[in-house]
Amino acid sequence: MNYNHQTPRYVLVIEQIKGKISSGEWETGERLPSETDLAKDLRVSRNTVREALRILEEENIIIRRHGVGTFVNQKSVFSGGIEELFSITEMIEREGKKPGTKLLFSGLVEPHSDDIEELQLQEEEKVLLVKRVRTADGVPLVYCVDKLSANLLKEDYHFSEESMLHSLQEEAGITISYARADIKTLGYHDEISKILECGPDTPLLILRQVHYDLADRPILYSLNFFKSDQITFNVYRKRSL
């Protein structure tokens, strides 16, 4: 390995490892050599290798399994900007895959305290709860929990679309203008991970959103649980001058 005096050695190690992965020398799911063997092969210290692996793990390029080893992580198939308001159907179709839906539950329920706060519900107001699994080419991708104020919907409203946003516009005459969102991570969950066919080493990404209509009314409160090895969210940040 040729070193530039101004380039930290761990950066060069990162480039070497990325090169082996991108060239196919190390494939998805393959176990990497031990830190000792990597240090020997790349002629660097174990501390340098350890720092490089730490950064690669933060970038989700590798995954460490305690007591087992370090592996090449699965590359995300789907990606989206967190500043972009998109439907899951659109996201799946953009990647050339066929969206599908498995409806688990749909009906009126009593709201939780979070529902009352986020949707600004009145006393004794119920919510329409919809639970679905969204699939891409038949493979589970997202577990969706959507809640809407029942008072905003017609009595004969029936959710029948792939896209919740499209259904609201076409069947209820409600146009979603924008959403407030945040992302959190969740480890293995007994129920949801099984629904999404995730193993214990695959964390979940939770996209929590409150959608507002053109009159700034909160309409839809949703929790979307994504398989973290299948999707990457990004954000574009611009420096204010």
pLDDT along the chain (241 residues), means of 10: 67 91 86 93 93 86 85 68 70 86 92 95 91 92 93 74 82 90 87 90 88 94 88 65 58
Question: For position 172, what pLDDT does the model report?
Answer: 84
Of 193, 202, 175, nearest to 85 by C-alpha is 175
* Cα 118 to Cα 209: distance, rounded to the nearest angstrom: 10
CA 232 to chain centre: 6
**Sequential DSSP letters for 162-204:** S-HHHHHHHHH---EEEEEEEEEEE---HHHHHHTT--TT--E
The answer to whether residues 184 and 225 touch, using CB atoms and an 8 Å cutoff, is no
Model pLDDT, residue 160: 65
- What is the per-residue pLDDT for 32? 93
- The pLDDT value given to residue 84: 62
Whole-number Cα distances in Å, 123 to 97, 128, 217: 43, 15, 17
Q: So what's the pLDDT on residue 175?
A: 92
**In angstroms, what CA-CA distances link 139 with 42, 72, 136, 211?**
39, 22, 5, 27
Give me the pLDDT at residue 171, please: 82
**pTM for the full predicted model:** 0.67
- Residue 152 has a pLDDT of 85
Q: How far apart are CA 148 and CA 121, in angstroms?
A: 10
- With contact defined as beta carbons under 8 Å apart, do 140 and 227 qualify? yes
Residue 184: count other Cβ atoms within 10 Å of its Cβ.
10
Task: Tell me how far CA of residue 152 lies from CA of 12, 125, 147, 159, in angstroms.
Answer: 57, 10, 12, 14
Whole-number pLDDT of residue 72: 87
Cα 191 to Cα 216: distance, rounded to the nearest angstrom: 34
Q: What is the pLDDT of residue 221?
A: 96
Task: Report residue 3 as tokens.
Answer: 């070193």
User: What does the pLDDT read at residue 198?
Assistant: 87
